[in-house]
A and B are shown apart, each in its own frame.
Chain A
């Protein structure tokens, strides 16, 4: 299948070799395939926060709103309310959404807004030359914590499960095909989709080796249950899988990627607009 050209003329200013290139590639492939499948290109719209991740605004030739640091999940929900025919994506960073704008993430999940949130989690504030974020491991040596940060990391998937997200997945930036399929599933899910993307920051926090030694793909497809709704884990099973890795630098833990949880519920927009 020929990929649709989604490029802009903008010059890409990520670091050479940045894993954001891989995410961009997976996004282009996923959207290109969905357009081929019949979703009109003009019906895609995305928002982004502020940070390295957000530069994707300039590189992806689709409708988009380059919002404020931490706030673009709110902007995305506004778009979806105004025009529920649109497929609305929000690209966010870890500092962006787990630090600055965490309330919006929680409430968007809680109200099951029909948007797709993709977190480029490089586990540090990179664009400001590296400070710790909510998902940086304890002891992270950034420019504001030369002796290492004192704070324990947050497990965002646990938070999302507790907040009521109806689709929870984790991908790895450098597994492009797998990530592409997760992005497609997330977009096609009706309701709030949360996709955490582990994104090694090759300049400030190059944990490629750490990830690649630990990552494994979840395979929740059980025999006889082939449709998308029933093949995911139960909430309790998801909780166990999500807890396998707590975002620390622990030596032993494995890191599952894939869809952890998926459930169908009426979306916020359906309830509000059809009221």
Chain B
């Protein structure tokens, strides 16, 4: 067997398939495998069909392996929905108390759980343990992971696990890969940890899938010392965050497209008042309420143009957890350096899927150069909107002696006093100069990444989660993949560099109209074709390859 496994575990909402998937992933991680978990669930609390699909491989993939090697079924729907995707030699391990099946291995997980005096949800521990025995995982490794992951009633869970382990037969041996495990993080966890690195003080949010787990994670992790505030709606969220930033606290907000739409007026306020803020927008299927727990990359052009009037902004779209960590940290720094909104554009799969993260990235501290917000030198009269050559005016906060700090949504003079005279063009031009400074800044940062065959004359271009499957497809096809990460200001030079020698360019995106292709065209880059998908599920590499061949 090649060292590239696809394990799918499914069940009803409330059966704990997600937790079970994470435990299985951690076991493989311990064995030196690189992990990617795709989470598929519906917008309901009980019932329905949820599954986690784990890819555990020697190579690092960030896309699903279509054919399933091990199908783990807590309920019958899991068999019904996924049996056809089973690899020829694939194995089904199922809950024999709920499912009748002539093939595969049935384990009476509910019976075992009951006998041991456990709660129904603990049946997933029995299933994981039976599976571990079947594929030759040492009990010690399994036990270690269970203890680490299960906080509640661990002794009982271990008892249930031990029993299921004992009654199961070993059929094969998953080979160990001799290397250190990596850190496993979802994109949302990484985003939160990234912002913490650069000093996040407050996180303001109103629950909205798929951004909610950023808030939940920060609230749970008190050791990170970020205050989590949940105001009455998204409008309040961002206006509070702007107030906090005005008073000197590093603040971020997080939401999805609908919540972001409510924040748009205040986004423009952040631009006009030059208030630093990190806005995390995790896309989900749209338009409107769309599909809360499924994915589309349909908000790219929206976040680029949201807000009345012209104002400078950064838009950054990381495509995996490592990138979330790095660019979330960077984003907060950019917000404070340039006193303007920074939008971190995620999508459902970047947010909620689990990725392997290198320890070096998790512990990074450097961006290649220092970021230090420009503060008032306490000399002379303070002018919040002092006209400067680079467009950045020194910061001071309320409470500062001898300074009157006036921030405003109106057009204003250097003190922040409202003006409507023709003098206003000076302030418009100051913000324009700031934008020019931002353009120079992004060319010093890693804005565009290139993967695959760098010499190929054919390239795919993709962003967010689509990067993962596009990378696998590009490698299989022997072509290049370009991933723009900093999207606004548009990284002209780095894009030119990435496009050197490329004769044909195809965009790969999860939307109906090819928004990235439109953006590239706007910037004078011809896109020869679009590979699109819009059924809410991220690309499989095969789909990209097939669509590419048909173009």
User: CB within 8 Å of B: which residues of A?
Assistant: 8-10, 40, 42-43, 45, 47, 50, 55, 57-58, 61-68, 71-72, 74-83, 85-86, 103-104, 106-107, 272-273
Contacts and interface: CB of A to CB of B under 8 A. Distances in A.
A43 B227 CA distance: 22
Interface stretch (B41-49, B141-149, B232-240, B487-495): B232-240
Specify which of B240, B404, B405 lies most central, judged by the most chain A CB atoms within 10 Å of its CB.
Answer: B240
A99 B389 CA distance: 42
A77 B242 CA distance: 10
Given A58-B418, A272-B227, A75 B202 contact: no
B240 A77 contact: yes
A42 B398 contact: yes
B410 A63 contact: no
Contacts of A74: 231, 235-236, 239-240, 243
A43 B402 CA distance: 11
Contacts of B232: 103-104, 106-107
A68 B236 contact: no
B268 to A, nearest CB: 9
Given A74-B236, A82-B244, A65 B273 contact: yes
Contacts of A8: 415, 417
B205 interface: no
Contacts of B394: none
B409 A81 contact: no
Contacts of B399: 42-43, 45, 63, 83, 85-86
A68 B418 CA distance: 14
B445 interface: no
Contact of A65 (B236, B243, B415): B243
Given A42-B403, A57-B406, A79 B239 contact: no
A43 B399 CA distance: 5
B398 A78 contact: no
B417 A10 contact: yes
A107 B236 contact: yes
Interface stretch (B28-36, B246-254, B368-376, B478-486): B246-254
B530 to A, nearest CB: 38
Given A62-B404, A66-B408, A78 B235 contact: no
A82 B417 contact: no
Given A71-B235, A75-B240, A75-B242, A82 B202 contact: yes
Contacts of B403: 42, 63
B408 A83 contact: no
B407 interface: yes
Given A57-B418, A68-B269, A77-B240, A273 B227 contact: yes
Contacts of A85: 399
B201 interface: yes
A270 to B, nearest CB: 13
Contact of A75 (B201, B239, B400, B404): B239
B178 interface: no
Given A63-B405, A66-B410, A104-B232, 15 more contacts: A10-B417, A58-B418, A64-B406, A67-B243, A78-B204, A78-B240, A78-B246, A79-B247, A81-B243, A82-B247, A83-B247, A85-B399, A104-B235, A104-B239, A106-B232
B400 A66 contact: no
B532 interface: no
Interface of B: 201-202, 204, 227, 229, 231-233, 235-236, 239-249, 251, 265-266, 269, 273, 397-410, 415-418
A67 B239 contact: yes
Contact of B242 (A55, A78, A83, A106): A78
Contacts of B229: 81, 272
8 closest Cβ pairs, A-B complex: A78-B243, A82-B249, A82-B247, A74-B239, A63-B398, A78-B240, A66-B408, A75-B243
Nearest to A43: B399
A81 B246 contact: no
Contacts of A47: 243
Contact of A67 (B249, B269, B416): B269
A271 B495 CA distance: 49
A86 B246 CA distance: 12
A66 B239 contact: no
B211 to A, nearest CB: 19
Given A42-B400, A57-B406, A68 B265 contact: yes
A247 to B, nearest CB: 25
Contacts of A45: 247, 398-399, 405
Contacts of B204: 78
A240 B427 CA distance: 52
Contacts of A79: 243-244, 246-247, 398
Contacts of B265: 68, 71
Nearest to A110: B232
Nearest to A272: B227
B417 A58 contact: yes
Contact of B236 (A50, A71, A80): A71
A10 B418 contact: yes
Contacts of A83: 247-249, 397-399
29 contacts: A8-B415, A8-B417, A40-B401, A42-B400, A45-B398, A45-B405, A58-B418, A63-B398, A63-B404, A63-B405, A63-B406, A64-B405, A65-B408, A66-B406, A66-B410, A66-B418, A67-B243, A67-B269, A67-B409, A71-B236, A74-B236, A75-B246, A77-B231, A79-B247, A79-B398, A81-B229, A82-B245, A82-B249, A86-B399
B404 A61 contact: yes
A50 B269 CA distance: 13
A42 B401 contact: yes
